[in-house]
């Protein structure tokens, strides 16, 4: 447990920005606030991640449809370039570069959708997902993950909305299997 006042003192800041940051972290699901006791980092919950995937999938379909319709050539070229970076990181089994490229790819796809409300919504959902994947995604799954993400990027770049949506479905089938595998690996109480 940490307190707002301890964080403010350590960072040499007022309590108001600390309180606002903690409220945002709580909203995203990264911390639990216990009144008069402090703030505690929340655990990574496999069941909650399955629920997150249920919410993300239709929104990711919305992202790719809008990216196909509204993305500029430059935005779609960037999506493809980042997908290539992801593939290279997967081949090298470079966890840091893989997760960085995956984050950049999600951000580029969402940016190409050109919808501010969707962007803000996806930022929070992607942040929650990243936290789960940093903890549970095995390095040997990277090539498959990169291939599935690249399939989405390629369909978006071709401006094929239905192909992109189908590629999202394939990716989410894979993500659900990985999540369920993580559930099977959890220690039993």
Q: Name residue, tokens 């089938």.
A: 173
Specify whether 28 is located in the same domain as 110.
Answer: no
Residues 124 and 151 in one domain: yes
Instruction: Give the whole-angstrom CA distance, residue 61 versus residue 38.
Output: 39
Residue 102 shares a structural domain with residue 72: yes
CA gap 24, 45 in Å, rounded: 19
pLDDT for 114 equals 98
- Residue 22's domain spans which residues? 4-41
* Residue 142: CATH number of its domain: 1.20.120.530
The count of structural domains within the chain is 2
Residue 13, Ramachandran bin (φ over 0: left; ψ between -120 and 50: alpha; else beta):
beta
Residues 92 and 12 in one domain: no
3-state secondary structure 25-92: HHHHCCEEEECCCEEEECCCCHHHHHHHHHHHHHHHHHHHHHHHHHCCHHHHHHHHHHHHHHHHHHHH
Tell me: do 21 and 91 sit in the same domain: no
**In a shared domain, residues 56 and 10:** no
Per-residue confidence (pLDDT) for residue 29, from 0 to 100: 75
How far from 170 is each of 59, 135, 145, CA to CA, in Å?
Answer: 15, 22, 10
pLDDT in tens, 17-65: 888 888 887 877 777 888 888 887 877 788 889 999 999 999 999 999 9
Identify whether residues 77 and 124 lie together within a single domain.
yes
- 50 in the same domain as 12: no
* Spatial distance between the Cα atoms of 149 and 10, rounded to a whole number of angstroms: 41
The pLDDT confidence band at residue 186, using thresholds 50, 70 and 90, is low
Residues 58 and 83 in one domain: yes
Tokens of 10: 């350590």
Q: Are residues 36 and 50 in the same domain?
A: no
Q: Do residues 34 and 67 share a domain? A: no
Q: Considering the entire predicted model, what is its pTM?
A: 0.82
CA distance linking residue 68 with residue 81, whole number of Å: 16
C-alpha span between 110 and 114 (Å, rounded):
7
**Whole-angstrom Cα distance, residue 184 to residue 46?**
10
Please check whether residues 57 and 128 belong to one and the same domain: yes
Percent of the chain with pLDDT over 90: 67
């Amino acid at each position: 447990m940490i307190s707002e006042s301890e964080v403010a003192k350590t960072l040499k800041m007022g309590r108001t920005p600390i309180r606002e940051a903690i409220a945002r972290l709580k909203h995203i699901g990264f911390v639990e606030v216990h009144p008069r006791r402090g703030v505690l980092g929340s655990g990574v919950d496999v069941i909650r991640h399955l629920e997150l995937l249920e919410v993300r999938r239709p929104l990711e379909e919305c992202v790719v449809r809008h990216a196909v319709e509204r993305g500029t050539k430059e935005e779609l070229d960037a999506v493809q370039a980042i997908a290539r970076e992801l593939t290279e990181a997967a081949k090298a089994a470079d966890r840091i570069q893989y997760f960085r490229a995956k984050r950049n790819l999600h951000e580029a796809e969402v940016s190409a959708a050109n919808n501010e409300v969707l962007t803000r919504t996806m930022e929070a959902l992607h942040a929650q997902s990243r936290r789960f994947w940093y903890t549970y995604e095995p390095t040997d799954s990277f090539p498959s993950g990169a291939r599935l993400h690249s399939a989405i990027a390629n369909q978006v770049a071709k401006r094929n909305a239905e192909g992109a949506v189908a590629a999202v479905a394939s990716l989410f089938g894979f993500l659900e299997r990985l999540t369920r595998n993580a559930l099977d690996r959890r220690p039993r109480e």
